[in-house]
Structure 1
Amino acid sequence: MAEDPQLTDLANHLAARRTAILERWRRAVETDPRLTSASALTRTQFYDHIPAVLDALDNWLRSEPPSERAQAEQEQKETAAEHGFHRWHHGYDQTEVMREWSHLYFCLIDELDDYASAAGGPETSSMRVARRIVARCFSDGVIESAARYSRLQQIEAAERVRDLEQAVAQVEEMELRRAEMWREAAHDLRGNLGVVKNVTAALNYKDAPEPMRAEFLQILEKSVASLHALLDDMVVLSRLEAGHERRDIATIDVAALLKELCAGFQAAARERGLFLHVEGPSALIVEGDAVKIRRIAQNLLLNAIKYTEKGGVRIKWTDFDADGLQKWALIVQDTGPGFEST
């Protein structure tokens, strides 16, 4: 079957008017108060796949055999789907995508009307075919753009649900850990109070010999010190949870701070039959929060000594260069059993 001369002539007319059609469409979108996302796009980004859509329409108008028209229709659908992806990527909502398609459709209808008016006479069967082709082209375009946009929204929603589920799981895990920390703190507090209570009762025993009273006083002193440290830790934990903990950054000699701290732990290590080796430069000037650094190092040493049954503990501090930045590290090693993996 031969090509329709009028459809071919119309296709040539639309091809010649391509730039004017695109500009008319852009102005229609710019003046639509309900379309705001387009203002953030460059001209090339705005046109995106629409020139290819018009190419597919051109092929459709020129194609007479059904096989060629089917191919042109499929090309148009694929291009329209890609246009929907492009608009989603640039933050359009689905209503904006549909309104843009609507403006483009009416721009082409105006071109068909102008072409028919210039030709004069009653509307021919070829023009009626052309109008159906344009309508079919743009209905398919709207459907394919909307379908691609909808699939992308579903994928994005599924990803958000997964992210939310992971966040909820992390919060639940944190709540369990926090509950366990408070349970352990309460257990330690109760244990220390029990020791204080028993020692106080023993000290009230008038017939207790002096060596025993001296030993009880030493136990009482240690228990009170342990209670003080435990309460400090609980206050810090409550401040952290409330978001009230602040850092007090200053220039400090962290080596002097750590040496003083380790000297105070030597007796505790000896009592457990452990060594406590200290290694590091005699002076190490850094920017940091002295109170928090001391607290962290103290907790690490307490745990290392507490859970090490034989051998001992090594504490080391050093400075190093990382990507052009000067940093320092605190290393605490012990010969204890470590922690089981979970």
Structure 2
Amino acid sequence: MASSISDTDLSGLATYLFTRREAILNHWRNQCEQDTTLLNVSGLAREEFNNMIPLLLTILHQRLQKQPEGNDPVEIAAAHGLHRWQKGLTLKNLLAEINYLYAGVIRELQLYREFFPDSDADVLIAGYQEVDRLKTETMLGSVREYDQQQQLAAASRANRLQYTLDQLQDMTRLRGDLLRTSSHDLKSSFGVVRNAAILLDQAEKPEEERTKLLQMLNRNLGNIHEMLQQLTDLSRLEAGYEVLDIQRFDASQLLYGLVESAQPLAVQKGLILRADGPPELLVSNDSVKIHRIVQNLLLNAIKYTQTGIVSVSWSKEGDFRWYISVQDSGPGLSDGLVALFSKQLMPKAEESGVLQRDLSEVDEVPNLTSEELNYTTSQGLPVSEGVGLLIVKRLCELLGGMVEIESIINVGTLFRIRLMLEHKA
């Protein structure tokens, strides 16, 4: 007899959908953008467009995990419907938009079956049933009327976002801390190289020990080269030596190609690497620097993700902006680094966040120890990656964009790059 929903283990499906959440939201937006009847949607920023939908996806995750639900899906859908009514969408527009959303979720269930062909059919059946149930509740809640309190809450959320965006320029202390720690790392690596060279000079050393010393020497020389390259790149950016080469190009072609070139690395580690975006997205910007930014984030995501999925997705954001998202199921950033970067790179948690987290405890940037700066994730991410984040941020600023971070320890990290469709000098 087939298993019922109540006794079917859906945790694997829940984990998969969670790691694909940003791609689901971006695919949803791309589908809505292509529908010429949804004219008012194209002008919405990402936060306004997503609105309460991430909370509905969280409820789906909780149901698949058989966890208590933190919110009433009908009420959440009601708040989303009120937002769309305020933006001038008709009920027909709203229902079409919801259909696109759940068609994207169904698409992910089909992809799950392709990625995991040995999965139990009862899992997919139960998954379809839960998606259908949530869609029905969303339709029900979206056509209801709401009171003035939802409008006040939306205004409060916008004010919180504006406050955190004003903090993005405060990078002085972060830069100083990372550079001082980089100097310490370089001295340590040079010390290891010097000692290894002295020991290698001793003729009586056995061949096996000499081999280990050579490996240690090469490893530390590689670390030194990487650190110096990062510091050189940062210095060029800080000094204003980087020159922009603005041209019109297809960003989708660039990103699909970049993901394709990284597939061998993902396959070698047993990771699923996905690219999700429109087939064509013409922008005017510096394609080389955009390639550098995404390559940096993508290679780091693959490097520090041990199991699961790395997703690269992108979409237009209204008529003037577009964004690129790199999300992984890796170890996540440590509490120390999240606090350190929260003022500079990461907006506070809100309903539109994919990896929702309460950051109220990081109003003040803490004084981190050298150990926390040297190993900035639960898996030991070196400080050179902190310098790399500064490079990514400086490149984004040079291109007239910004970088945002969302992260939860032992769940994953999301980097989002926002850029103008037409770069203005």
The two structures have a TM-score, normalised by structure 1, of 0.39
Structure having the higher Rg = 1
Higher helix share: 1
| Higher RCO, Cα 8 Å, sep 6+ | 2
